[in-house]
Amino acid sequence: MATAGIAAADVTLGGGAVAGLKSTGAGDAFLHYEIDIDIKAAGETDSGLSFGASMDIDEGATASRDPEIFVSGAFGTVTLGDVDIATDGLGLPDLGFDGIGMDDDVEALRNAGAADVTYAHSIAGISLTLSYGVGGTTGVDANEGDFGILLGYKFDAFSIEAGVARDDATGNRGMGVELGYSANGISATALWAQQDPAAGAETSGYGLNIGYTIDALTVSASYGDTDAAGDAEDYGIGFSYNLGGGLRVVGAVGSVDNADVWDLGLTMSF
């Protein structure tokens, strides 16, 4: 690794933490906590290009550091490393301090393959994200040739995003459409997603989330279901109370895959 030259860039720390009690419906409730410290290094070239790198330090000693390196300019942003595929940008808000898993079944359908480079750009409310797998060895890598695209458009309080991803090795495809609304303390999200394997039947699902914020309190409710054989519908309600300074009390209760689940805890932003 060669990194000579004048260093005018900055390295900063931020992150977050969660802690609280969770119940998954089986066995007893238990303590769950996570800490995520983000290391961000950023600089700017003489001509105004932004560039940088980021890593995470988690509470687990051997947890992945999610390394990413980016260059950003008028052309958009290119990011390399442990990046998400484009359709990972589609999602349904989860409920609870750690997430009771309301969004898991439907979100699992939208993705296919993996990526090590993304390109993102947005102009006048239109956004585009492309993801691709180049591979990290001289051989045929598992993610090599995997491709994803996500298109979005925002107008006033409304947003729409649609994307598709393809795993080149298996031919499996994931796709989805997310609709959003956010205004006057009301937020609403709808996600439709479908997994289309190279062989066999498609699986599709959808989810809805509606939230209402008044002063420091946000209450929200979610519903989701898929047509996978044996998959039960999921529903739940949750709240988040903002204590200021980055600390919130957050909890939720719901039914996920026929299990009665809940969590209650704190979220911290640093």
The alpha-helical segments, DSSP class H, found in the chain are 104-107
CB-wise, 29 or 201, nearer to a second copy?
Answer: 29
> Residue 135 in contact with residue 116, Cβ under 8 Å?
yes
CB-wise, 44 or 233, nearer to a second copy?
Answer: 44
> Residue 86 in contact with residue 131, Cβ under 8 Å?
yes
CB-wise, 20 or 163, nearer to a second copy?
Answer: 20
* Closest separation in Å from C-beta 198 to a second copy: 23
* Closest separation in Å from C-beta 23 to a second copy: 8
C-alpha pair distances (Å), 66 with each of 56, 144, 210: 6, 19, 31
CB-wise, 31 or 124, nearer to a second copy?
Answer: 31
List CB contacts of 54: < 8 A, sequence separation 6 or more: 38, 39, 40, 41, 66, 67, 68
Angle at 119 between CA 41 and CA 6, to 5 degrees: 30
* Closest separation in Å from C-beta 25 to a second copy: 9
* Closest separation in Å from C-beta 169 to a second copy: 15
CB-wise, 158 or 270, nearer to a second copy?
Answer: 270
What token pair was written down for 250?
Answer: 């957050």
N- to C-terminal Cα separation, the chain: 31
CB-wise, 203 or 220, nearer to a second copy?
Answer: 220
CB-wise, 130 or 175, nearer to a second copy?
Answer: 130
218-235 burial code (b ≥16 CB/10 A, e <16): bebbbbbbbebeebeebb
CB-wise, 227 or 270, nearer to a second copy?
Answer: 270
C-alpha pair distances (Å), 4 with each of 1, 8, 34: 10, 12, 36
* Closest separation in Å from C-beta 248 to a second copy: 6
* Closest separation in Å from C-beta 142 to a second copy: 13
List CB contacts of 95: < 8 A, sequence separation 6 or more: 102, 220, 222, 236, 237, 238, 252, 254
> Residue 148 in contact with residue 164, Cβ under 8 Å?
yes
* Closest separation in Å from C-beta 40 to a second copy: 10
> Residue 232 in contact with residue 224, Cβ under 8 Å?
no
* Closest separation in Å from C-beta 59 to a second copy: 4
